[in-house]
Amino acid sequence: MTTTLRPDGAEEPGVGGGRTQRWHVMVNGRRVGGLRTNAWARSGRYPGEICELEIAEPDRRRGRGTVAVLAAEEVLRSWGCVRAQLLVPAGATVALRLAQTLGYVEQMRNLDKDLGELPPLPAGLTAHPMTEQEFPAWRQTAIDGYRADLVAGGLGADEAATRAAEDHRRALPAGLGTVGTVLRRLRDADGTVLGTVWVTLHQDRHPDGGSIAWVMVVEVAPEHRGRGHGRALMHLAERECLRAGVRHLGLNVFSTNAVAIGLYESLGYRPTRYVLNKPLL
């Protein structure tokens, strides 16, 4: 039997000059599932994405998914993509094994939490809005840190630098004045900055209903790490969400950051999706 992809409608333009296409997975002319391919234009090079993969139950465990992903990779290559990203929902253990068998390596994972009542900040700690004077230096530090994480996750240095700068530019087009942006600094009794948290309250829809906000950056100053300030910053982020009427908070964490993963899990955050990468040679 022959497994192929067939377009499910017309190709559509993607964000920032990219492209997106939904496909039927076919076996000898019979639809057995579907998937979507996405690509984004960055500096003349396209990173690609394969998502929304589903195979009907009667056709699972027959190699349909494997062939469909390989065919989707060929689509991305024909679009000029040099890297493929595969999105796998948490709990989809078969799909995760398939991705690993095909050479995909986990780069990051998405987590979220349903928010409830929160404890106050520890005694002697206070939260303050970031000032316009503090913002430029913080932003450059945040971009540099994100670039380093992307390189650690497998991206080349040039691609990582471009993506880090462009992602920050899109997320904070008006700096501190960007709608839905919360930037808070945690200080001790002497006014020393212990860390910073950035939350975006654009309020995407949560699968369980309601809205979900996102932690973009949570960072403790190197000389103040290991003292529970990361936990305090996360509680601060959660309080900001509840104040805005948002009861779900999500975040992305790079898979190499075992310390951060341990912190988030101890706070009740659970994986919702895994993001895996593979170079398209």
Query: What are the pLDDT digits (tens) for 131-147?
Result: 999 999 999 999 999 99
Residue entry with tokens 């000059």: 17
Computed on alpha carbons and rounded to an integer, the radius of gyration of the chain in Å comes to 21
Residue 104's identity, in one-letter code, is: Y
Question: In terms of domains, do 99 and 122 share one?
Answer: no
The band of 44, judged by pLDDT with boundaries at 50, 70 and 90, is very low
What distances in angstroms separate CA 37 from CA 8, 248, 250, one per listed residue?
11, 28, 24
Residue 268 belongs to a domain: yes
**E strand or H helix at 203:** strand 193-205
Residue 216 belongs to a domain: yes
Say what percent of the chain tops pLDDT 70: 94
**Domain boundary pick from 63, 79, 103:** 103
Rounded Cα distance between 183 and 99, Å, is 36
State the pTM of this model: 0.85
Rounded Cα distance between 159 and 201, Å, is 28
**Domain boundary pick from 52, 68, 103:** 103
Question: In terms of domains, do 148 and 194 share one?
Answer: yes
Rounded Cα distance between 186 and 200, Å, is 17
pLDDT of 46 reads 57
Residue 198 belongs to a domain: yes
The residue among 52, 78, 64 whose CA lies nearest residue 25 is 64
Range of the domain at 249: 114-273
Question: In terms of domains, do 142 and 213 share one?
Answer: yes
Question: In terms of domains, do 65 and 118 share one?
Answer: no
Residue 109 belongs to a domain: no
**Domain boundary pick from 50, 70, 103:** 103
Is pLDDT larger for residue 161 or for residue 159? 161
The model's pLDDT over 210-238, given as tens digits with 9 standing for 90+, comes to 788 999 999 999 999 999 999 999 999 99
Residue 236 near residue 197 (C-beta atoms within 8 A)? yes
Look at the chain and report how many structural domains it folds into.
Answer: 2
